[in-house]
Amino acid sequence: MELIIYNDGTYSLVEVTKQMIDHIKILADVDCFSLCDIIRLEFTEYLDYPINLHQMKDGSGYFYGCICR
- As a whole number of angstroms, the distance between CA 52 and CA 1 comes to 24
Which pTM was predicted? Answer: 0.88
Average pLDDT over the chain, rounded to whole? 96
At 41 the pLDDT is: 96
At 29 the pLDDT is: 94
Q: Write down the domain spans for the chain.
A: 2-67
pLDDT digits (tens, 9 = 90+) for 14-30: 999 999 999 999 899 99
- Cα Rg for the chain, rounded, in angstroms? 12
pLDDT digits (tens, 9 = 90+) for 47-57: 999 999 999 99
Assign 31 a pLDDT band (cuts: 50, 70, 90): very high
